[in-house]
Chains A and B, each alone.
Chain A
Amino acid sequence: MGFSVVTHPRHSDDSAQGPAFRELVEPEIEVLLRVALTITNGAADAEDLVQETLLRAYRAIDRFDGRHPRAWLLTILRNTNANMHRRQRPGVIGDWELIRTARPAFGRPELPSAEDSFVHEELHADLDAAVRALDPRFRAALILVDVHDLSYSEAAAVMGVPVGTLMSRLSRARDRVRKALRSSPLTRGDLS
């Protein structure tokens, strides 16, 4: 790829800095907003968080090696969010504890209907409860991969863990949620 960012690490002396940074960041704006939406209280907060993230990323660009920009930006997003909340409500919130699940969208017309007594409208509350009951580290893996569609490497970078660790957390999270839903009174009849 060869980002000029890497070969021109100084902010002050280089007008190529801006466009390089923009090229790097622009394709990731939507993903950043999507992740931000789930860890903040609404669209306005999400935008603030992403803007603050971009500002910090811009200042830190000389420490970026040019690989995996999405993971890099998401890591900054996570840290920025943690810092912002520490400032507002000291000691109350830990970073991925903040994951706030957006309202599930069951019953939407595009939801495929096959194979899915398992994913039924009435399951909404059970799924919500099952995800909330997860250990935050497991929940983060599940949300980053299954909700936000990040790759293993991206999710691992966001969480600051090796890919193998991410995979095992993801697997445990999925198994727990799957089993919680299976034993739910709503679905027991359909699945056993």
Chain B
Amino acid sequence: MTGTLQQMLTCLWSARRIQRYLDADPAARLTPGEISRLEGHLATCEKCTRVAAEHRALHRALSLWSGGTGVDPRSVDRVRDFLAAIHDKDTA
């Protein structure tokens, strides 16, 4: 029983950190201690592993949403020309 409660608490602890773990954003890094504890838990907990897999899959799906590479290089070129023109016009 104590084991189950402990497991539940660790799952909650992990759930609160899984986003920061997967994103690894510089604004919200986990400590090395948190990372190893989380990875240790993921290695043994099927439920949290599945949640992590769902997160990864969702992120991958959404990252393809813009139609892959998306932006037409000619579009970038035109905007770059426009940028140059702003400067030229201003200093002319």
Contact = CB atoms under 8 A, between A and B. Distances in A.
Contacts, number: 133
B19 A174 contact: yes
Contacts of A135: none
A105 B25 contact: no
A178 interface: yes
Interface residues of B, number: 41
Given A33-B79, A47-B75, A51-B79, A147 B26 contact: no
B56 A115 contact: yes
B66 A163 contact: no
Interface of A: 11, 15, 17-19, 21-22, 25-26, 29-30, 32-34, 37-38, 43, 46-47, 50-51, 54-55, 58, 101-106, 108, 110-112, 115-116, 118-119, 123, 127, 131, 142-143, 145-149, 151-153, 163, 167, 170-171, 174, 177-178, 181-182, 191
B87 A21 contact: yes
A151 B27 contact: yes
B75 A46 contact: yes
Given A29-B83, A37-B70, A58-B86, A104 B61 contact: yes
Given A115-B56, A163-B28, 13 more contacts: A15-B91, A47-B78, A58-B86, A101-B65, A105-B67, A112-B60, A116-B57, A119-B58, A151-B27, A152-B23, A167-B28, A174-B19, A181-B54
A147 B65 contact: yes
Given A119-B61, A123-B61, A152-B23, A43 B75 contact: yes
Contacts of A26: 80, 83
A152 B87 CA distance: 32
Contacts of B68: 105, 108, 110
B27 A153 contact: yes
Given A18-B91, A37-B70, A147-B66, A182 B27 contact: no
Contacts of A147: 62-63, 65-66
B63 to A, nearest CB: 6
